[in-house]
Chains A and B, each alone.
Chain A
Amino acid sequence: MNGGRLRRALATPTGIAAALVIVAMVVLAIIGPLVWGNQAAAINVPDALKGPSGAHLFGTDQIGRDIFARTMAATRLSLELALLSTLIAVGIGIPIGITQAVLGPRLRRLVAGVISAAVAFPGLLLALFVNTIIGIGATGAVLGIGIAMIPGFARLAQTLSASIAGLDYVAAARILGISRIRILFFHVLPNIAEPLTLTGTMSVGWSLLGISALSFLGLGVRPPSYDWGALLGSGLQYVYENPLASLGPGALIVLAGLAFNLAGETLARVQGGTPPIARPLVGAAGLEAGAIGQPDPDLVLEVDDLTVRFPAAAGDLTPVRGLTFTVRSGERIGIVGESGSGKSMTVLALSQLLPYPGRASWKSLRYLGRDLRSVPAPELRRLLGTSMALVFQDPASSLNPALRVGRQLAEVVQVHAGLRRRAAMELAVARLRDVHIARPELRAQQYPHEFSGGMRQRAMIATGLMGQPRLVIADEPTTALDVTVQRQILLLLRQVNEDSGAAVVMISHDVSVVTMLCQRVLVMYAGRIVEDIGTERLLAGPAHPYTRALLASVPDMSTDRGRPLATIAGRPPALDALPAGCAFAPRCPLADERCRAADPPLEPLDGDHLVACWHPQPAGRPTVPASA
């Protein structure tokens, strides 16, 4: 196992606790019989059935033996048996599951079917079956529980190796002609070892519980041997007189079981996942919404210095840093940026949907002339629910798979406008028709999985049309769609804009798509707007070097086939490693000392064309040659 993970697990409180208990148990198992062996066997009938005392911590049993001593001494056998049966399950189950990967399809299906059926069968019954055959006793119990756990491991190993076998790097190995056996050992096995080890650790706990159950019933370990389960079982007979006689060994069963389970879970949790989030950001509620000046009635959206912050252990991440822009009524603007530019976070912040623990702050954020923080909650809900339409990227996951499509549209007006169900559904059908979905009455009764991708996206747009939309925010609405469908959606957005007068804000990584729909483009880089420019001027020649490079590097139908594509050297900066000064400077051919030292503000270059650059390029100048 990856040493790093083990170390990380040991750094957590649960990891430490589990490790300590396990170590203590192992020590106890080794020294138990040595230290307490004699005491455990010492019969002392006059002392029989005494309760807990200084001499006998757990009291004595029917023939006067010290129960505490017996419990301590039983550690070895209990753990040994648990370990043994785990080994049986792991040693037989995992190979069965793995070999699935090398079997032919028919045999694989047969084995898979057998495993599935066996997994559904309760393990204890299987254990009883084996126990009956082998005979009552420790051997029977170990084999019983061990065999009962085989299907579970086989199934796990099978599922894991199947999922690995479907990955591209295994396909690449097969194309290279590497033998199936080699693939199994070098590609599949190393990548499933960790989850298997985790489950193995936890199943020591399960084995312990299972064998103890059998011993408790008298079907497992038999006198003169005894494990915790047997002690618990015999202690049950006089539970009224001395409950500790059974609760004592019981407590150790629980402790050991917990320790192994916890160990497994902690290891699973520290799998290089999300960095633990420190304390939530204190006092991050936006800077006081002092309305600076009067709201402009023609503006749908006024954003001034919008910032989004996510607290993280190593320092806060700010995917959005001081955005300022406006959206006029009926305008169509596009926000363009690559991954990491902060465009999606901007959308979430604007629509008040930031995921926890993100916090947005701003100098001014006005929607339809009203500061969002000053609108009381119920009114805000209705306002946003009926006038702000949102269209997200993946139509496959935007619609709730468990509900009919019509219902999902109708509820908007049922909740916000108080419409009765029938009226709401009629409206929903009408809107589906408006977005050119054929046979809308039928479609409204269907579930999302019966819609194609393009239809789902149109249904999402229709949802936004249920109210009186003033603003449509579409986050990569066509990225997941085929190009012919993409055009339809863009035309639909255009139509919605013209018919209803709603403004449209479209976010995309694809500049050409944005220019098809939008009149104005905001270019984002590393959380800032670097250029705010009208589309015509954009096509004539933008001012910011990044925008120019972006335009140059995207092949279109008139790209010169004789020359290499223009590229932008390097990569976008990581959010937690932003350079001082202009974030694009490391990649910009025009960067100089000033650029590296100071971050240029977004300022008007010419009328309503804004640029954040110390060296903006005049329009019409040939594209700065970027490195190839």
Chain B
Amino acid sequence: MAEATTQIRRHHTWLIFLARRIGRLIVSLAVVLSLSFLLIQFIPGDPVRLALGPTAPASMVAQQRAALGLTKPLVVQYLDYWHDVLSGHLGTSIVSGQPVEQIIATDLPETAELVGVALVFTMILSVSIGMFAGALTARGRRPRLTLFFTSVTSILNTIPEYLLGVGLVFVFAVTLKLLPVAGDAGWQSLVLPALAIAIGPTAGLARIVRVQTDVVLSQEYMRVARAKRLPTRLIYLRHALPNLLTAALTIGGLLLGTLVASSVVVENVFARPGLGTAIVQAITQHDYPVIQGILLVLGAAVLVLNLLVDLLLSALDPRSTLRES
């Protein structure tokens, strides 16, 4: 009887947890949406004039203002914006006249592909390298290796992705002529940009995983595992790794935002079509609806992905189903 109620209570708690997180997500999305709406409102001066340039005729400016709905009262504009976004209309580009959602629909998959590849690369490589290094250098062993590891990862982590991109371009495409430099031609053109995005975070995360491995290995239950005289492989894979993963995934989740941001920059280095090139172009051209749309989509994507990571983490950690974050 008691077990049944415990099971029910456990499910119940999990559902409440889920509901709360989704509630929070919705609130955050609403904030992002509102901020993106307010973007145009905050612009000092006349946004349309800025976009069309000083030489455009006044009638065109007025026409655009009306098209953007800027003449209506603020509250109406806000509600209209909500309505539009929820029905999938993200506005029209001032510069090209194209619907923003179309621009995003073409560019989003490219960016998603890039970020996805970079993420997988980062997680797999950083966890394995970090854990390996952690096992070798736990508790102050091999101090020279620790120094080497920390130096290399520090340097790699500090090199900005655009510089890495430029360097990679130079080495692989120009000097060695191995891989394409720009544009989008199948999987080969994914390699260099993904590397440029991923190398820094991989180094940073590997450092953290190394330290975390050291922490986990010093835990009492690891001592108990050694006291059981289990084979080394079992000790690391079955006892240490699950406890490491929680920390690694948490940081990995935080990295998501960084990876998305990096992709914005790297796409410009490699002239890859994607949300990154689109938004930089839009900012340069003062094409506000496009900026709004892309910020909204990117922001929402990051928030949703963060929620998924949180849910994954709580599913993995046996303790958290009973805990409210």
The one of A355, A390, A402 in contact with B318, judged by C-beta atoms closer than 8 angstroms, is A402
Given contacts A120-B306, A447-B319, contact A125 B243 (CB under 8 A): no
Task: Name the interface size band of chain A.
Answer: 35 or more
A217-B280, A219-B283 known; A122 vs B242 contact (CB < 8 Å): no
Given A247-B166, A250-B163, A355-B139, check contact A397 B284 (CB 8 Å): no
Q: How far is the CA of A123 from the CA of B262 in the complex (A)?
A: 10
User: Nearest-CB distance from B148 to chain A (Å)?
Assistant: 13
> Which residues in window 290-344 of A have CB below 8 A to B?
none
B170 in contact with A401 (CB, 8 Å)? no
Q: Report chain A residues within 8 Å CB of B219.
A: 397
Cβ–Cβ contact A232 & B163, under 8 A = yes
Please give the number of chain B residues whose Cβ is less than 8 angstroms from any Cβ of chain A in the complex: 71
Q: Evaluate contact between B265 and A217: CB separation under 8 angstroms.
A: yes
B residues 145-175 touching A (CB-CB < 8 Å): 154-155, 158-160, 162-163, 166-167, 169-170, 174
Q: Which residues of A contact B158 (CB under 8 A)?
A: 205, 209, 254, 257-258, 261
Instruction: Please tell me which one of the listed residues A125, A415, A416 contacts residue B299 in the complex, with CB atoms under 8 A apart.
Output: A125
Instruction: With a 10 A CB-CB cut-off, give which of B24, B163, B167, B218 has the most chain A CB atoms.
Output: B163
A271 within 8 A of B: no
Query: Does the CB pair B224–A447 fall under 8 Å?
Result: no
A523–B158 Cα distance when bound, in Å, is 55
Asked if A133 and B221 sit within 8 Å, CB to CB, the answer is no
Closest to A395 in B: B220
Stretch in contact with the other chain, from B58-66, B76-84, B227-235: B227-235
Counting CB contacts under 8 A, is B199 at the interface? no
Say if the beta carbon of B74 comes within 8 Å of chain A. no
Contact of A596 with B by CB under 8 A: no
* A-side interface mostly: helix
Give complex CA distance A380, B39 in Å: 70
On whether the beta carbons of B160 and A209 are closer than 8 Å, the reply is: yes
B227 with A253: CB separation less than 8 A: no
**Tally of contacts, chain A with chain B, CB under 8 A:** 192
Interface set, chain B 221-269, CB cutoff 8 A to A = 221, 223-231, 234, 238-239, 242-243, 254, 257-258, 260-262, 264-265, 268-269
Interface residues of A in 254-278 (CB under 8 A from B): 254, 257-258, 261-262, 265, 277
Q: Tell yes or no: A356 within 8 A of B by CB.
A: yes
CA distance A23 to B320 in the complex (A): 48
**Chain A: minimal CB distance from B7 (Å):** 11
**Per-residue interface assignment for chain B, residues 5 to 31, with 1 indicating a CB less than 8 Å from any chain A CB and 0 otherwise:** 000000000000000000010011001
Contacts A122-B257, A132-B39 known; A356 to B284 CB distance under 8 Å? no
Q: Answer whether residue A457 sits at the interface, using C-beta atoms and an 8 A cutoff.
A: no
A399 touches B221 (CB 8 A): yes
User: Is B225 in contact with A400, judged by CB distance below 8 angstroms?
Assistant: yes
User: How far, in whole Å, are A218 and B303 apart by their CA atoms in the complex?
Assistant: 27
Task: Choose the segment among A47-55, A238-246, A502-510 that binds chain B (4+ C-beta atoms closer than 8 Å).
Answer: A238-246
Q: Contact between A213 and B160 (Cβ–Cβ < 8 Å)?
A: yes
From B225, which residue of chain A is reached at the shortest CB distance? Answer: A400
Which of A232, A415, A447 is within 8 Å of B162, CB to CB?
A232
Query: 18 A-B Cβ contacts within 8 A?
Result: A117-B31, A125-B264, A125-B298, A129-B35, A129-B295, A132-B43, A132-B291, A353-B223, A357-B140, A390-B227, A398-B220, A399-B221, A400-B225, A403-B238, A411-B228, A415-B229, A415-B230, A463-B228
- Other A-B contacts than A129-B295, A416-B229, 11 sampled, CB-CB below 8 A, are A113-B24, A117-B31, A128-B264, A240-B170, A243-B174, A250-B163, A353-B227, A384-B227, A392-B223, A397-B221, A447-B319
Closest 9 CB pairs of A and B: A385-B229, A124-B261, A122-B257, A402-B242, A381-B229, A397-B220, A250-B163, A122-B261, A400-B221
